[in-house]
Amino acid sequence: MSDHPTMPAEDDDMLAAEVALGLVEGEARDAARARMLQDRAFARRVADWQERFVAMTDDITPVNAPARSRKALMARLFSARRVPLMQRLWVWQGISFAALAAVAFLAVPLLQEPTVPTQGEVYATRMAAEDSALELLAVMDMSRGDIALRRVSGAAPEGRVLELWAILPERAPISLGVLPDGDVSRVALPADLAAEAAQITLAITDEPPGGAPGGVPTGSVMAAGAVAEL
């Protein structure tokens, strides 16, 4: 690049102009980038050229972008939907700081690809109750239409099963089914509950084997928690 080794400043300034235009390629470009980080005078030259060249846009007429563009941008930047689920769990306010590490650990088996942004709302809750050792973490993933559950502690009383309920204001408890044995399970969320998802309180009762007769809870509430959006 050194056509005039006796005029290094001049060469620098031409190189700076080429950088500003995007004409520097390959290794020379990498070198120029590295230099801009360390050599403030050189970075200054590049900025000066950018300041000069920008005048080429002076006669470009402003054009209003369509409203959908603005909407899409704001959704892209600010919608929680773009945030990976694990990240949402970390910022979840509904759980104590001390439990965060446990949540992260517990959440992993719930989520198949925890770092992939999920497209729908996600709600979560920690289900517990006084006088009960049973504790579960529940994550409602609306894009999948299901609830992932992870048992933290406790179990069904001898000879009983655990049944999951969705509780909504002014409605009878809606059975989401008997929980299978095991610490981790997935339960489908009925599609007609999706619109009211944010208001759901999840509860678990102990019921006779086979589940609550007649679809009405009969046992005691062993754990419950209102969902919060992540």
The C-alpha atoms of residue 166 and residue 198 are separated, in whole angstroms, by 11
Asked whether the beta carbons of 103 and 92 are under 8 A apart, the reply is yes
Among residues 9, 25, 31, 180, which is the contact residue for another protein, using CB under 8 A? Answer: 25
Cα–Cα distance, 227 to 94 (Å, whole number): 9
Count of C-beta atoms within a 10 Å radius of residue 180 = 12
Q: Any contact of residue 72 with another protein (CB under 8 A)?
A: yes
Closest to another protein by CB, 40 vs 171, is: 40
Closest approach of Cβ 97 to another protein, in Å?
A: 22
Q: Which of 62, 182, 209, 210 binds another protein (CB under 8 A)?
A: 62
Shortest CA distance to 162 belongs to which of 89, 93, 211, 112? 211
From 169, 102, 90, select the one nearest 137 (Cα to Cα): 102
Question: Per rule CB under 8 A, is residue 55 in the interface with another protein?
Answer: yes
Place of tokens 């088996």: 109
Contacts (CB under 8 A) with another protein, residues 75-104:
76-78
Q: Is 37 one of the binding residues for another protein (CB under 8 A)?
A: yes
21 vs 133, which CB is nearer to another protein?
21
Q: Does 64 bind another protein (CB under 8 A)?
A: yes
131 binds another protein, rule: CB under 8 A: no
Strand partners, 174: 166
Instruction: Decide: 129 and 222 in contact? Cβ < 8 Å.
Output: yes
Residue 13, interface with another protein (CB under 8 A)? yes
The footprint of another protein (CB under 8 A) covers 3, 10, 13-14, 17-19, 21-23, 25-26, 29, 33, 36-38, 40, 43-44, 46-48, 50-66, 69-70, 72-74, 76-78
